[in-house]
Structure 1
Amino acid sequence: MGTVALAVTDGMLHFELSLAHEVFGSPPDGTPVTWYDLAVCGPGPVRVGRFRLEPDRGLDGLARADTVIVPGWADIDVDPPAELVEAVRAAHAAGARVASLCTGAFVLAAAGLLDGQRATTHWAHTDVLAARHPRVSVDPDVLYVDNGRVLTSAGKAAAMDLCLHLVRLDHGSAVANAVARRLVVPPHRDGGQAQFVVTPVPAPDRHPLADLFPWVLERLDRPLTVEDLARRAGMSSRHLTRHFHAVTGTTPLQWLLTQRIRHAQELLESSDDGIDTVAAATGMGTAATLRRHFHRAVGVPPDAYRRTFRLKSRTDRTG
């Protein structure tokens, strides 16, 4: 399926680079397809993490590739090298399909390839990407975005999701599934990166809501209202809403729903409670209500979330 070029310079993240090299470097055994011609393109010897890497070709090799992969960029506070940005821009202009892994999206954005497009990156950096490149429509909740000739992925493992997606586009699901089996990873994951985002309670600084937060968290099984919270805080509902925006950036009801979802995640990971029991313990009332809000917030149903995270939770506790 033509040439896949990995764009490398000093400061690339070695995990995403190695992952892409593993996917596109060799076909799965017994698969009767013509595999990719893989090339590593860089300006010369580069440092990738703690490793020194000798590229196969110069950055001008990107313009001769059919697909260009830009791995994660380590320091997003520093502008990516101009020569890398220009080489990626030239490759796209020459007709290449360009995909970024994790924070590699900052390189594509700097090249102007994401202007007017929907894109994503690691959830911890989506706000920075959106602020620095306001013409990009940043989606923090997805594992990857396919705009045709420009694709972006979220962080770390989501890079694998995007690479397998590219193989699926080029060779079909059977071959992508064979690659996934060889790498011992799921060929497709449900939901988006919202299920991996930690949403902690704000730090217990001495702000006007410092005493209210723990009080609410001890009563998540109850049908609390804004008036209940305002009464406990000793202020009007209007003042409560103003303080919530200042401290949490959201409304009291949205914050309360987020804490209910967070508690539901904890119960799904750590207990064998049925969905009805989890719904009652989190103040959702019914399993149907829990499923609706959970799926909307996390991106997957409660049952699917439990299957994904329960084994990891138990391993963490016993390991």
Structure 2
Amino acid sequence: MCKNLAMSHVVAVLALSEVIGYDMTIPPMVFDPAGDRYDVRLCSVDNKPVQVYGGYQLVLNHGPETLAEADTVIIPGTRIPGPRYDGTLPGDVAEALATIRPGTRIMSICTGAFVLGAAGLLDGRPATTHWSHTKKFRELYPKVLLNEDVLFVDDGDVLTSAGLVAGIDLCLHVLRNDHGSEVANHAARYCVVPSWRDGGQRQFIERPLPEIGEASTAATRSWALERLSEGLDLDTLAGHAKMSVRTFSRRFRAETGMSPGKWLLRQRLEHARHLLESTDLAVDRVAEESGLGTAASLRQHLRVSLGVSPLGYRKAFRPPS
């Protein structure tokens, strides 16, 4: 859990000209449904109108002083010349970023990662950005451990996301880690988006369309979600889809960006987290209901994925009675 969540958590969204307008609106749209848990403030670097990509300007209510007060700072996508094209950071942006307090959570959406790269905040760390800009990013910031195959990267106090809608995925992930799945799911329903998207951005890289007539695994995935407690192996899933194991595995990976086994484990862990938050079921019963088998298995998977025990997770994320 992030710090300072007992009181309103200040989220500063720093818009840098030309800012990508869609990216800039993501944080308030995702965090506002969480009520007074967050105080989202859109700010500029110089108290001047911000040029938005698409041909218009915005006058924001806050200036760079907001960064020094923030618990989380978010850099939306931007076409700012220095970070995007030659790897330099404008002086006023560097000064503004220097006011961020140690320990503040820093996030980027889409090409906002170029700003973090220019500031040296990603050196030696895993990160991502929009898949169409990864070649340029690597040229400018070779010290960054760039991964273009994921929707977002959570490296603790620094988090980055891929293009556009992946910013929603990242903000929902943060909301889920801060306050649990129920709060994140509520925000997702309000925004009319999935609370969790499977796979990575490799799904969305331009590629030839699948051959006409090639079946989808979507129906089998929906079927499996209703039967997580059952013994669902690869043969069973392929049989439901009426495909050979080889064809099913290939098609499944093309559609979700992961193997059937990895996808199934993720769904079971997500269901286990939901049960820990929303029910009083014993840990071994949670493990059974989610298809993870035993309490020991659930404990191991939670420690690997979240670094916490089932009881620790329930204590941290279960809403108070």
TM-score by length of 2: 0.63
Q: Cα distance, 1:55 vs. partner?
A: 2.0
Q: Cα distance, 1:94 vs. partner?
A: 3.1
How large is the Cα RMSD of the aligned pairs? 3.4
Partner residue of 2:257 out of 291, 299, 306: 299
Equivalent-residue separation in structure 1 for 2:135 and 2:112 (angstroms): 15
Equivalent-residue separation in structure 2 for 1:129 and 1:270 (angstroms): 34
Q: Cα distance, 1:92 vs. partner?
A: 4.7
Cα 1:293–1:178 shift into 2, 3 Å: closer
List alignment gaps of at least 5 residues for structure 1: 201-261, 281-285, 305-319
Q: Cα distance, 1:263 vs. partner?
A: 3.5
Equivalent-residue separation in structure 2 for 1:54 and 1:127 (angstroms): 33
Aligned twin of 2:111: 103
* Equivalence map 1:106-185=2 (5 Å): 106-185=114-193
Partner residue of 2:214 out of 262, 267, 273: 267
> Which residue identity is paired with 2:23?
E
Aligned twin of 1:27: 33
* Structure (1 or 2) with the larger CA radius of gyration: 1
Q: Give CA-to-partner distance per residue, 1:83-142, whole Å, 9 cap, x none.
A: 464156425553311100001000010111100000000111112111210000110100
Partner residue of 1:37 out of 36, 39, 44: 39
Q: Secondary structure at the match of 1:86?
A: helix
List alignment gaps of at least 5 residues for structure 2: 1-7, 220-236, 264-321
Equivalent-residue separation in structure 2 for 1:74 and 1:130 (angstroms): 17
- Contact 2:110–2:167, Cα closer than 8 Å, also in 1: yes
Q: Secondary structure at the match of 1:267?
A: coil
Q: Cα distance, 1:40 vs. partner?
A: 1.4
Cα 1:99–1:268 shift into 2, 3 Å: farther
Aligned twin of 2:4: none
- Contact 1:3–1:37, Cα closer than 8 Å, also in 2: yes
The worse-fitting range, judged by mean Cα deviation, of 86-95 and 50-59 is 86-95
Count of equivalent residues: 233
Partner residue of 2:246 out of 270, 288, 303: 288
TM-score by length of 1: 0.63
Cα 1:145–1:128 shift into 2, 3 Å: same
Identity rate, percent: 41
> Which residue identity is paired with 1:35?
R
Equivalent-residue separation in structure 2 for 1:46 and 1:70 (angstroms): 14
> Which residue identity is paired with 1:12?
V
